[in-house]
Amino acid sequence: MKRDNYCETILAIRENYCRRHMEEAEEWLNNDILSYMNNYEPSIRGFSSKFREIINRGEPVRIKNMDAFLDRLDKMSCHAANNILWEKLMPNERTEFVQRHTHIHR
């Protein structure tokens, strides 16, 4: 039975980050997912249209206050927040992220 893209990619990226960052793996992953979603632009400059589009995927009501959404994520464990963010990525985005972030530090 073939695993779906979500499971396959989250396991691959977590394994990679655990090897590279050990105890802080989830924190590094969280930062990198958010950076990827915002086209690697610092959030101090605002949120990109890509970021807003991704955050609003699967939401019944459009999220307008990105800071409030991110504050909610900050209140949970990085592991849980990463699961939520990873779920919002499309399969091709997950694959691209894994490829990009596993080849950087080989």
> pTM for the full model?
0.91
Task: Say which residue the tokens 């396959």 belong to.
Answer: 8
Average pLDDT over residues 34-50: 95
pLDDT band at 106 (very low <50, low <70, confident <90, very high): very low
Of 21-25, 42-46, 101-105, which gets the smallest average pLDDT? 101-105
Within a 10 A sphere around the Cβ of 19, how many other Cβ atoms? 11
Q: Is 39 left (phi over 0), alpha (psi -120 to 50) or beta?
A: left
The CA–CA distances, whole Å, from 30 to 3, 7, 44, 60, 62 equal 23, 17, 17, 24, 22
Average pLDDT score, the chain:
92
Q: Give the CB-side neighbour count of residue 22, counting CA atoms within 13 A.
A: 1
